[in-house]
Amino acid sequence: ETGVTQSPTHLIKTRGQQVTLRCSSQSGHNTVSWYQQALGQGPQFIFQYYREEENGRGNFPPRFSGLQFPNYSSELNVNALELDDSALYLCASSYTLDRDGYTFGSGTRLTVV
């Protein structure tokens, strides 16, 4: 598999719970970004990791956190889930920090009830 893979594909959680979403970057890519896409909206940038360090963050509260591992895979963690966190979460990887487009995964559909 050379593309970006995300797991799980679907997830249902209860308000107040915590969730971890996972992403495997495309082979050769060292940068990973996470986006939240609410229904009917475009993706919104959550944060980006480069060489295991956070390298930019969007307007999301601290309960959204992430990790990047030495093999460039990544996790998105969301604590204290709220109903409004229900969305499609997209992972995107790239090789360089600038000028390249990103390769997106198929996303994880999170539903908070």
Partner 1 sequence: AQRVTQPEKLLSVFKGAPVELKCNYSYSGSPELFWYVQYSRQRLQLLLRHISRESIKGFTADLNKGETSFHLKKPFAQEEDSAMYYCGLKPQGAQKLVFGQGTRLTINP
Say what the alpha-carbon torsion angle 44, 69, 4, 47 is, to the nearest 10 degrees. 10
- Does residue number 73 form part of the binding site for partner 1 (CB under 8 A)? no
The yes or no reply on residue 66 touching partner 1 (CB under 8 A) is no
Tokens of 94: 């790239």
Give kind and range of the element (H or E) at residue 91. Answer: strand 87-94
| Shortest Cβ 45–partner 1 spacing (Å) | 4
Chain length of the chain:
113
Tell me if 56 contacts partner 1 by CB under 8 A. yes
Binding site for partner 1 (CB under 8 A): 3-4, 31, 33, 35, 40-45, 48, 50, 55-56, 58, 90, 97, 99, 101-107
